[in-house]
Structure 1
Amino acid sequence: MSFVMPVLNERDYLERAVASTLAQEVDGPVELVLALGPSSDGTTELARAIAAGDDRIALVDNPDADIPVGLNAAIRASRFPTIVRVDAHSELTPGYTKRALATLDRTRAANVGGVMRADGRAPFQRAVAAAYNSPIGLGGGAYHGGTEETDAESAYLGVMRRSVLDEVGLFDETLRRGEDWELNLRIRAAGYRVIFDPALSVTYWPRESWSRLLRQFLATGRWRGELVRRYGARNSARFFAPPALVGFIAAAAGTGLLRIAGPFSRAGTLLAGAILIPVALYAIVVAAYAVARRPASLRERLWSIAVIPTMHIAWGAGFIAGVARGARDTIDTSRLDGRNTPLP
């Protein structure tokens, strides 16, 4: 069993991620290959110290910090026929790998994934985690809360057959985000199954500050726009909801400025009202979600009012830019600036 993990500025999370990985109970030998990006918070030194104490851990370099490049380097350096992708910002639950292997064999799938269970430490991160776990936050994809085993368009992280990865060509190194969705698209196009199993669960720790969340979602949205440019209608319709929201907000702001400049005709007033209705409904839904959260502190609820629109608007704005101009060299800078600084 080969676990592969890209790592960049994860000093606060790496030890627990590695421990949860190596604690997995599987039949046969296990290895963990860490692809080390150019961290600035001491992560590389920590990784080397951990690896020095455990011969199951191998290290490879990922100097450009691109996730698909690091994943491919780790896969090429691995030795075993099953690949388990692990995120340094996550923790595998006990029994995850054993269950995934059973599902992989039973369904004869090429890739199996489960539920991303976001969690948080400080109020801000808990607000982000709640948004991740809610259909309101990330649009209701299966791995954010599905309850039935089913064929899926993609898988969170994934437990994959090495033979299939070799056949379809590993991760696309021209993508900096969305590489998992694109890989699973090729897996399915080659005639293999991708399975979502709700019994599999991974704890994910979201970004710890508003600025990092904003940068993450801008970059992610832009790369989704790039994927739309490349693959068109094969992208899910739900990906178009955030850019539609941005369009309505921009239109509402424009009509507001026009209203200030001069009176509207009756038809113009009706049109302005029609534009404002979706924006008003969205604001009501976000406020109702924040108020209804149980259990949650007042600070978490207030953060929710900021977090949900940040995720949607940043992602939607990035998406529009990506469709219009492509992602080009867009990178997710939310983990490039050193040590984590959680908000209160």
Structure 2
Amino acid sequence: MKKMQRIRRPSKFTYFVILIGLLVQPLKFLFPTEIRAAITYKPSIFFGFVSTGNPKRVNFVYNNWLHKLQPPHNYAFISKNPNKSKLNFILPYHKYIVYAGNSSSWPQQNIDRAAKRMTGLEYFLYNTTNDYYWSLTDDVPIDIDNMEHILKHLQQNYLPLNESVFIGHSLQGWFIQGGTGFLLSRYGAKLIIDHGVDWVKNITVEDDKATLEFRPWLGVSKRDTYSSLMFGEEPYAFNHSEFWNDKLPKCKRNHPKRCSENYKITDLHALHTRFMDTAVAMENLKQAKKIATDLYFYYCYMDLYLCKGEPYNREFDCPVRRLYV
């Protein structure tokens, strides 16, 4: 009778190699080449300003921060009354603005602004290669000196060419406040543009409230629309200097459903007000971002709140989507 040969068992190293292979294959499926490549470059933004062409407002934005904007980022003021300056202006496209008519009534004003937002979106989609469209009004200061932080935030949290991104100062996830406006990915813009004319034509509410229709088209949830990058109502907390030295409550882990998460103060970069001096509020915010290392904010509908939490490194940026203190 022939002696049976002893079968050698695979080594631990062999098992290790097989395990790695099993883990890597699903990752290749989940992150195809084009998506993994997207992670390695810094995104760029096209700023589309909803504007009346008022020289005072246009000059404020330009002198406050826009003059520092560098390529590949770009911008345009969308207005029926182009300024004679050398700044970039786009006339609202006729297929949208025709529904606004010539009256200055409240319904017509809403359609007028909506037409400008959609004009900017279409221009961005077919005339630029930027990754994001930021639709905002022409009275919003942005902390352009921290542009790298804005880009890093977007780079670490989103994939603009492969993902619907629609974020801003989200009012209970219902709609996004129109002053600081919304950031929309190129992928998302492609899903919205086919609805553009009907969206403008059928508006019966304020143009920012009408953005509630975008979510179903984009397939994003209410919570997906919240962002730390901007706050569009009155930031009363920034009304005085050194507000970070005020006696502030400790940050809570959970807030009411309508509220945002806790965000680092260093992640807030754009403001809009109706009654406050926006430039002063922005300067106070900039100072806080340079000094505070434990200051956080969150917002509930139209109100912004400050709190103190775990100390952080102002220079270190990490993904903030679903981040709690």
TM-score (norm 2): 0.41
Normalised by the size of structure 1, how large is the TM-score?
Answer: 0.39
Q: Which structure is higher in RCO with an 8 Å CA cutoff and minimum separation 6? A: 1
Larger Rg: 2
